[in-house]
Amino acid sequence: MSTKAAIYCRISRDKKGEALGVERQEQDCRKLAKQLGWQVSKVFVDNDISAYSGRKRPQYEALMAAIEAGQIGGVIAYHPYRLHRSPKELEAYIDATEKHSVVTHTVTAGAWDLSTPSGRAVARTLGAWGRYESELLGERVAAAAAQRATKRGGWSGGRRCYGWEPDGVTPRESEAAELRKAAEAVAGGASLRSIVTDLNERGVPRVNGSAWTGAVLRDALIAPRNAGLCAYKGEVVSEGEWPAIIPLDVWQTVKSILTDPSRRTNGGVGGTVKWLGSGIYICGRCGSRDVRVSTTQGRKKYRCRNGKRGNQPVHIARDAYLLDDYIEKTIVARLSDPKVLARMTPKNKQIDVPALRAEIATRRNTMAEAATLFANGDITAAQLTSITAGCNARIDAIESEMAAGAPTSPLLMFATADDVARVWYGPGGADGNREGGLPLGIRRELLKLIADVTILPCPSGSGPGGQLRYDHIRIDWK
């Protein structure tokens, strides 16, 4: 009876995703199985996964499970390195194959006799050399990346970043526009949560196609490459050879905001917010902001949650559509008055942004030149450390100055707008689909910034003909 065999194939890099490497491995392994007179019953393939990376190899784990279950009597791989480069994995494999009398053959290295001390010694030696080669390769890759990063700001490789094509230097404009919009919103005071909600509601995917989270968006926004900067291991080392997709001063402001340790990240209303005033409007009876929208007799109404608790009467109830429409139109009218807007917009410190950018570029070039001098043996490690520390200190000071002087009020977007209503609602106006207008999350942040809206108790939520009782809505401008 022929031995039931399993083939295991793996390739650590498959940039085109074509799996041609593992296909070639399988073909050669099948030829060997035929020569041995073995029957191939299972094929396990892990494509584009390194044995040394630490990432899980699902198909390798399935192979081990099949061995433990006694389903196979032989394993064929192209090379011992295709099976293991980790001594820990190798020891587990030796134990399992010895326990279940499983024979191992490879196309390039022949039979592995793991049942004898000498055979196991050979396997362990190969494993040790495999790990050494992996570590050496890792050092070479890291060194090459560092050299590219410090020399002319070259792209150092890696996975595709959001906003960029796979080459790392060409912007993907549709994604770059989303990053710019999000950066401007953060600089203007919007929360990450509101921006994430907007992205996910519009179906804007991440690079891997999944939904956005606050942490992922934060990392995407503070990436130095967006400002045309080249970083290595988290440190900016030079100007990049690619264009900036976010202006440097805006990026500096966003980075300052999102890396502030004192920044709140868990505030606000939980869940997906769908209404302008949920958790923002104030109940005129009890003073609570616990005002939410619920459905009553088929109509959406704002209600204070403190009402109807125990013997409490209903505090307030207003038609949600009518109230939000009224508040938005009132805000747009106020922001359309240049004099009012001028009073609401903070005056920022005047700074020479181009000159500061030029000085940052000069300092980074100085550090890159110092790194080259050190590599050539022209300066000592102490001198390199001193130069780097001095340049970084000055860059930090410049970045702080730019962040302090950068526009930080979200109202500035209206100061230069010809049509405030168009900015707020989009080209379709108040009765349109809001496409091209401000996302709900940003409108909510603006409402909190400029006004307190109090819903006062009244005998009826609406006037004749279903009209809202404007005299029972109080707006206190900040």
Question: Given a cut of 60, is residue 408 above it in pLDDT?
Answer: no
Closest by CA position to 399, among listed 353, 346, 365, 367: 353
More confident residue, 218 or 426: 218
Measure the CA–CA gap between 252 and 261, rounded to whole angstroms: 16
pLDDT in tens, 50-80: 544 556 788 999 999 999 999 999 999 987 7
Contact 449, 279 (CB under 8 A): no
Q: Quick one: fold of 155-264?
A: Hect, E3 ligase catalytic domain fold (3.90.1750)
Closest by CA position to 471, among listed 457, 325, 447, 317: 457
Measure the CA–CA gap between 82 and 134, rounded to whole angstroms: 12
pTM of the model: 0.41
Q: What is the DSSP string of 429-457?
A: -TTS--TTS--HHHHHHHHHHHEEEEE--
CATH class name, domain 4-134: alpha beta
Q: Tell me the two tokens of residue 85.
A: 């480069």
Q: Is 38 helix (H, G, I), strand (E, B) or coil?
A: coil
Residue that has been written with the tokens 């009765």 in this structure = 431
pLDDT in tens, 14-41: 444 444 567 888 888 999 999 999 999 9
Contact 426, 435 (CB under 8 A): yes
Mean pLDDT of the chain: 78
Same fold, 4-134 and 155-264: no
Measure the CA–CA gap between 66 and 105, rounded to whole angstroms: 17
Closest by CA position to 344, among listed 415, 276, 403: 415
Question: Given a cut of 70, is residue 195 above it in pLDDT?
Answer: yes
Q: Where are the domains of the chain?
A: 4-134, 155-264, 282-346+418-477, 349-405
Contact 289, 279 (CB under 8 A): yes
End-to-end alpha-carbon separation of the chain, Å?
87
Write the CB contacts of 15 (distance below 8 Å, at least 6 apart in sequence). none
Angle among Cα 167, 170, 172 to the nearest 5 degrees reads 105
More confident residue, 230 or 293: 293
pLDDT in tens, 299-329: 899 999 887 655 667 889 899 999 999 999 9
What was the pLDDT predicted at 70?
Answer: 92
Residue that has been written with the tokens 């930090």 in this structure = 396
Element (H, E) at 4: strand 4-11
